[in-house]
Structure 1
Amino acid sequence: MRILLIEDDALLADGLARALRHSGYLVDTAADGRAADQLLTSDGYDLAILDLGLPGLDGSEVLQRLRARRQQTPVLVLSARLAVEERVRLLDLGADDYVVKPVRLDELEARVRALIRRGQGGAVPDLMLGRLRLDTVGKRAWLDDSPLDLNAREWAALEFLAGRVNRIVSKEQLMQALYGWQDDISTNAIEKLMSRLRSKIEVAGITIRTVRGLGYFLEKPDDAAA
């Protein structure tokens, strides 16, 4: 899951980004409103966490521009502004939630999970693929009753492919889904990641196919058996 964290307080942004990445999210950051507006035009984010008092472009303007483009990206406003009228104004502009700073990290992450689920149309929290079970809320995987040892990137790749069973996903799509815009990566990194992931799930009868020149797809266990 990809989050854009828009916060001009460098210390706070660093702490929140580290915590969210530790929880398995891919986090890009923006420190001013104009940069955030430009990044949001890609429509590649599952959630935006938005501060209001931003240089360059106020957070409320960033939100208005997002909704004017008819983009449905969930927006969680994180602000020190306490006035009820301000919260009502932002919610009317199209924010999905409003949290006043300071906020407990566990509460923030709970709100993040709720908004992402809502943005996915109430996606099923558990995905079953033969003997493999994915807990998309807890970001864990099991083979039968045994936990599968996956690092954060491997988990993200498996979740991305499992949500698109039997659909080809290009290397570029995987790179966008799994890495931040600041990361310097190559298609070779994706190939190595797919190789590691294959070795961990093939025992469950789950196959990741390579389609030369196009990308990868995760094959349904029943299809693989056939």
Structure 2
Amino acid sequence: MPDVAAKPPRLRADAHRNRERIITAARELFVVFGAEVPLDEIAKRAGVGNATLYRHFADRRELIRQVSLSVMDRVIGHAIAAAEEEPDAFAALSRFTHAAADERIGALCPLLSEHIDADDPELEAAKVRLEQATTDLVSRAHTSGQLRPDVGVGDFVVAITQLTRPLPGAACVAVDEFTHRHLQILLDGLRAPAPSVLPGRSATLADLRRPA
């Protein structure tokens, strides 16, 4: 018989729900308190026991990895939906921007840079898909003439990452109510024709991947 690699067993429906609840709870708490939030607090928020959490995730690093993959997959889905469902290029870019904010895309940066193996192939593949989906939206808005030509995809990524990257700590939660307002200010500034000349050059995705 051919040597076929065994596939991991499918989770039961209740186990799958518990796993997703843990990932959702972890994402919410990582955003507010950072990656070092106690795991028992995550289990409590998810409504499961500590044993259930560890049954699904061997350690904190694996949980952070799965949260990162979950966020990227969801944001990629938003980008694809915006591109397919919005006939107006700038409307698609705007829809994606606000959807990415709701997924806390900015909180991914410290998780990925401080707690995840940079050479993880699954995470790298997800990054490439996300970059391509974002590039497609930006390129479409450029082609339509609605996005100012001196704004590169790297500029766009930096802007939404910074505006959706909450500072850890309960005292900072109140800023969430202003996120979409500030994103709309950003989007208005991205529209062509541009009222000013930007200093320097536009950022590329390659710039963002270079170590500081």
TM normalised by structure 1 equals: 0.29
Choose between structure 1 and 2: higher helix proportion.
2
Choose between structure 1 and 2: higher strand proportion.
1
TM normalised by structure 2 equals: 0.31
**Larger RCO, structures 1/2 (Cα 8 Å, 6+ apart):** 2
